[in-house]
Structure 1
């Protein structure tokens, strides 16, 4: 396990799990938000993003959490030897985005891009959550199942599974 892609709906705990996973394995962590956004919260241009993403994918080991542009998402899944899909219910994901927003009014969420508005990011997360059923569906699940033939695939479907994942697998 040297190249790990962690993905799922907004607010599903990808960043938290990825940080714990990086600490447990010693693998370098690349939060996708740090590749997609400049330090002031603006999006990087697509050419810069693609160059940085390809550089990470070609390195010897990594953990990348997030989704990003669809083409790069599938490249990441192909390059990874381990896939971790956090597939929490929509109600839990909406709650976690709301919780992050409420806490973010007082303290910047850990890993949140500098200069990026928590309110604006949360509103974007709500928009993305509304569109998620068009992507995170049975077709994607079938693709993921096919990928499991030649790589490790973990699907986490509850908060208890999420909270226990690292302890069960790596500690």
Structure 2
């Protein structure tokens, strides 16, 4: 486990899990939201993102948390030796997004870009969650399983699995 891609719907616990993995393994964590957005919440220049993403992928080890532009996502799936797909029920993801908003009124959420609006990000997360069934579906899971013949694949389907993941996968 040296190149780890962590991905899933908004509000699935990617940032929390990734931070715990980084802490346990000593592998550097790269949170895509902080790479895709500037400190004021605007999108970074695409070529700048692509250069930074390529540098990370070519490094010896990494944990990348998030989705990002679709072609970079597919590059990560190919480059990673470990895929962690967090596929919590939609109701749970909606609750986690709402909880992040409420908590974000007091403290910056885990993995949240500095200076970005938590309210604006939450509304975007709700919008993305509505669209997720078109992408995060059984066809996607089947494609992941094909990839897993040459890498480790973990599909986390419940909060209890999410809470136990780091301990089970590292120990």
TM > 0.5 fold call: yes
Aligned equivalents of 1:66 and 1:123: distance in 2?
17
* Correspondence 1:31-42 to 2 at 5 A: 31-42=31-42
Structure 2 counterpart of 1:6: 6
Instruction: Give the SS at the match of 1:148.
Output: helix
Aligned equivalents of 1:110 and 1:130: distance in 2?
22
CA-atom RMSD in angstroms: 0.8
Q: TM-score, normalised by structure 2?
A: 0.98
Aligned equivalents of 1:110 and 1:146: distance in 2?
31
Structure 1 counterpart of 2:137: 137
Instruction: Give the SS at the match of 1:34.
Output: helix
Would you identify which runs of 4 or more consecutive aligned residues in structure 1 move more than 4 Å?
Answer: none
Aligned equivalents of 2:63 and 2:88: distance in 1?
20
Q: Any stretches of 5+ residues in structure 1 without a counterpart?
A: none
Structure 1 counterpart of 2:157: 157
Q: TM-score, normalised by structure 1?
A: 0.98
Residue 82 of structure 1 pairs with residue 82 of structure 2:
yes
Instruction: Give the SS at the match of 2:64.
Output: strand
Q: How many residues align?
A: 171
Aligned equivalents of 1:164 and 1:139: distance in 2?
26
Structure 1 counterpart of 2:70: 70
Q: Any stretches of 5+ residues in structure 2 without a counterpart?
A: none
Per-residue displacement from partner, 1:55-89 (whole Å, max 9, x unpaired)? 10011100000001111100000000000000000
Alpha-carbon offset, residue 96 of structure 1:
0.2
* Correspondence 1:116-135 to 2 at 5 A: 116-135=116-135
Aligned equivalents of 2:34 and 2:120: distance in 1?
17
Alpha-carbon offset, residue 111 of structure 1:
2.5
